[in-house]
Structure 1
Amino acid sequence: MLKTIGVAGLAGLAGCLGDEGEYPDDDLTAVVPFDEGGGSDTYVRQMAGPLSDELDQDIRVENVPGAGAMRGIGQLLTSDPDGYTFGKFNPLTTSIEAMINPPDFEMQDLKGLATIGFNAIVVIGDADEGLEDFDDAVDRYDDGEFENLGGLGVNYLPKAMFFQERYGMPWSNYIQYSGAGPINQAVASGEVPVAITSDQGATAAVDGGDADVLAVLTSNGSSVFPDAPTITDLGYEGMDFLGQVTRSMWVPPETPEDRVEVLSEAIEATIESDEVQSWAAETGNEMAYGPPEEADQVLEDVWSEIPDLVDLDDLRDEAN
């Protein structure tokens, strides 16, 4: 396992590159397809310092927002496949955006570099409604008592549609919110009785007594709410490909495998470093490394499962 790589160590790892020389021997660029200050940007900037130490080269973070992340992903996909450009995005949410508003490229052509952790998605309910559990919520929608369901933008809509089609939870109105704060406020005020959000985002509402966690939507559970039942614990069909946001990193297609290996191993060492793990523990942003093939599999699962789950035309209609 790679822990710390100096120049000599990198020369050994990159020896198979022959006449191309050592890799890396210049600065690297991390493309973030969102504005500065968001979740993906925060993770990349937190990793940039220790990753620079591992690679003995500077990491330049480039924010390329726009078109629901498609502008930055398009730039990453068409960058030189030389191992000096990589990017970070969440394959679930960005894929849904691409399905609703197709770009002029195939994002599945990207090559996986690593997964760096995940956030569980949870269902929260208005504490004033006295919901006993997720079953109680399903029953109240089925009885017509509840109609509105909240979620984090259009990207969470397939989860809500899964509730309708697989769980027998016939909500009438899906209300989109721009972030965890507005979702928490909507639940606390009674604007929506139930909402779908990230575990980290729900913390303030739950800790403040405004909301209760009814279920965790991934069988992996939640590190933020370890005692909350998972949807499979409750006897419902699993939805792991929708129930967690897997934070992933990518490189352009045709990037040489040996350079992917060097960069991926440096990312693994960065994630396992005391600096990053201390930050993860302090902030609740759990960090864990997964290999390139795991990132590839996540993207493949999303693009194969969601079109089978929902009619994309219906998804576009609901989104608009």
Structure 2
Amino acid sequence: MKNNNPSKEKKSMNPMHRARVRIALAIAALLAAPSLAHAQAADWPNKPVRIVVPFAPGGGSDFIARYIARRLSEELKQPFIVENKPGAGGNIGAEQGIKSPPDGYTLTLIASSYTVNPSVYKINFDPVADMTPIVQISQGPLLIVVNPNVAAKTLGELVALAKAKPNEIYFASSGSGSIVHAASEYFNLKAGTKMTHVPYKGSGPAMTDTIAGQTQVFFSSASTAMPQINAGKLRVLAVTTSKRIPALPNTPTVIEAGVPGYDVTLWHGLIGPKGMPPEIVNKINAAVVKALKLKETEDQLQNDGVAPAGGTPQQFGTTIKTEIEMWRKVVADASIKAD
């Protein structure tokens, strides 16, 4: 006789059989997932992509983000929209970007301060494990500049002066716990000097007081310092990168000037949330690297005092990991704290 009660059939199903069905369904889902992800990646982007910038509009990070967004929009045929989310040294915007879905529709532009922040702020994400590196966009030095009245024409003379007058030479920074503060304290450690830190709320006031002679030394971005150097209001002693820069061919690196092992680079790059499909990561990387090879890109970045970078996602990831460890030691050794 036919059983017209489906619930009886369901109840009478062997428990082992039910377990096998569940396992089979789970395996089917796992097998289907890569195909679905591949299909989504192949179709990406099919809607606007946002680039979270963890800094205020109008600065160097914002400029670079908007330039790259325009290039990506042209290359990938979808709008790339910049959203500024400043605060907490860049941590608010970085966290928002990193905690977005890993579908390629939210990217985050980070700066080299991203690798300092984990050591000076309490952050709510893992700066390595919770993100996907995509591409390094730019690279450039800080310029070590002094007020013209400082009795040091070379970096070696500044080191000698600072050692002769411990704690009497004052260096400005854009804020406690900033990349400028960390780079300056790193110099103290490497050179064996004891210059005294004076924090400001931003590079503008720090520059103003260095020109006025309230502070004597400032580790400045090239875009901020070059007009003042050209006007004779500041003297440049060295660049912090391991190589000289075209804009200042006669200015030595810190290493050349007698402080071995000192190398600090300012950079910008794109990251995404962890778990982004490699196909999407590689597509963005290729589009950015293509843009970085353009003469227009070189000229635009040079206006901000930096040069194109490029490279693979893996290379950018290695840079981030290496610098996080380097700054962790510097912050501990110099007792650096954020505002």
Calculate the TM-score normalised by the size of structure 2. Answer: 0.81
The corresponding residue for 1:151 is 173
Q: In the alignment, what sits opposite 1:10?
A: none
Which residue, out of 166, 169, 178, partners 2:193? 169
**Aligned pair 1:74/2:98, yes or no?**
no
Partner of 1:250: 271
Q: CA deviation at 1:50?
A: 2.2
Matches within 5 A, 1:60-71: 60-71=81-92
User: Does structure 1 conserve the Cα–Cα contact (< 8 Å) formed by 2:132 and 2:271?
Assistant: yes
How many residues matched?
301
| 8 Å contact kept, 2:190–2:262 | no
Quick one: structure 1 residues 284 and 122, their matched pair in 2 at CA, closer, same or farther if it must change by over 3 Å? Answer: closer
What do you get for the CA RMSD once the two structures are aligned? 2.4
Match of 2:153 among 110, 132, 136: 132
- Deviations 1:40-66, CA, capped at 9 Å, x for gaps: 111111122221111011112111122
Q: Residues 38-187 of structure 1 correspond to what in structure 2 (within 5 A)?
A: 38-90=59-111, 92-109=112-129, 110-144=131-165, 146-154=168-176, 155=178, 156-171=180-195, 173-187=196-210
Q: Counterpart of 1:4? A: none
Q: In 2, distance between residues paired with 1:122 and 1:175? A: 17
Q: Is structure 2 residue 56 aligned with structure 1 residue 35?
A: yes
What's the CA shift for 1:201?
A: 1.5
d(CA) in 2 for partners of 1:211, 1:19: 53
How big is the shift at 1:251? 0.9
Report percent identity of matched pairs: 23
Distance 1:274 1:131 in 2: 38
User: Which residue of structure 1 lines up, in the alignment, with residue 312 of structure 2?
Assistant: 291
* Structure 1 gaps, min length 5: 1-13
CA drift at 1:15: 12
CA distance in 1, matches of 2:97, 2:69: 17
The offset of 1:287, in angstroms, is 2.6
Question: 2:128, 2:69 → 1: CA distance?
Answer: 25
Cα deviation 1:191-229 (Å, max 9, x = unaligned)? 112221112221122111121111111112233322210
SS in 2 for 1:248: strand
Alpha-carbon distance in structure 2 between the residues aligned to 1:189 and 1:101: 32
Deviation, structure 1 residue 39: 1.6
1:231 maps onto 2:254 in alignment: yes
Mapped partners of 1:74, 1:225: distance in 2: 37
2:28 is matched with none
Stretch of structure 1 that moved more, 286-295 or 188-197: 286-295
Counterparts in 2 of 1:286 and 1:204: CA distance versus 1, 3 Å? same
Q: Which residue of structure 2 aligns with residue 271 of structure 1?
A: 292
Aligned CA distance change for structure 1 residues 157 and 59 (closer, same or farther; 3 Å): same
